[in-house]
Amino acid sequence: MAIRNLRINEDEVLRKKCREVDNITDRIKITIKDMIETMYDKNGVGLAAPQVGILRRIFIIDAQDGEGIRVFINPQILETKGSQKDIEGCLSLPGRENEVERANYVKIKALDENGEEFVLEGEGLLARAIQHENDHLDGILFIDR
């Protein structure tokens, strides 16, 4: 495992739409392990593949809810409800924070690192983190909201 360099500020990779993962190869699994190590090294809650320069639909989250790391490959948000406003930051925009309104509930479908499909429902911080990281896969940053 290795700590990857973060793409920051106006790096053009952060504004690109990511491609789906066709096969979960050993290379993809190594990338996920590196993303986990990088996220923890930078004290983040989540990290999306484009933040480490990889234009694939992958993100990870540790919402510090006792569930540990969650890996999302080719995620699709199925449903959102409610509303919450809170201050957000981003590892790719160091020192910047903004109040952002997001759904308070999210239902998402994705693959895990073993290629198994799952559906997850989350509220609060988990819902916020899912929406934030999913935005990265479409080239959207929290400052756009």
Annotated binding site for Fe cation: 90, 132, 136
Which of 10, 20, 67, 133 is catalytic? The answer is 133
Q: Which two tokens stand for residue 79?
A: 């449903």
Q: Which long-range contacts (CB under 8 A, 24 or more apart) does 88-91 make?
A: 88/128, 88/132, 88/142, 89/142, 90/132, 90/141, 90/142, 91/6, 91/8, 91/39, 91/42, 91/44, 91/47, 91/51
Residues annotated in a binding site: 90, 132, 136
Q: Rounded distance, CA 129 to CA 16, Å?
A: 19
| Residue 37 annotated to the active site | no
DSSP label of 51: G
- The set of catalytic residues is 133
